[in-house]
Amino acid sequence: QKNYDEFLHHLNQSWIQKKQTSSSINENTMIKTIDQYLLNDPLVVAHKLCGAGNGGFFLTFSKKDSLTIPYSSVKINVSPDGVKGKKL
């Protein structure tokens, strides 16, 4: 459990540092909105934006066995036209 908690702590700290050093993150309303949503979700224990350019994704960790999503994965596309998702 200790290694797991330490990993999540470092993941959260690296995301905080990334936000402090990237104007492209701080100026993106959609990223800020998703970040706030994840910060306020009590089931989310850690998250970080991964990837580069136009191909990024939020890596998100939740409390074990707490999600009630009826499918194993979801593809989410963020574009200037908005956010679209579909189950895979």
- How is residue 43 written in tokens? 């089931």
**Which of 10 and 79 is assigned the larger pLDDT?**
10
For residue 74, what are the contacts with CB-CB under 8 A and spacing of at least 6?
85, 86, 87, 88
Is 58 buried (19+), middle (13-18) or exposed (0-12) by CB count in 10 A?
middle
Residue 15 class from Cβ within 10 Å (0-12 exposed, 13-18 middle, 19+ buried)?
buried
User: pTM for this one?
Assistant: 0.70
* 44 beta partners: 62
pLDDT digits (tens, 9 = 90+) for 43-83: 899 999 988 666 678 888 888 777 766 666 677 776 777 77
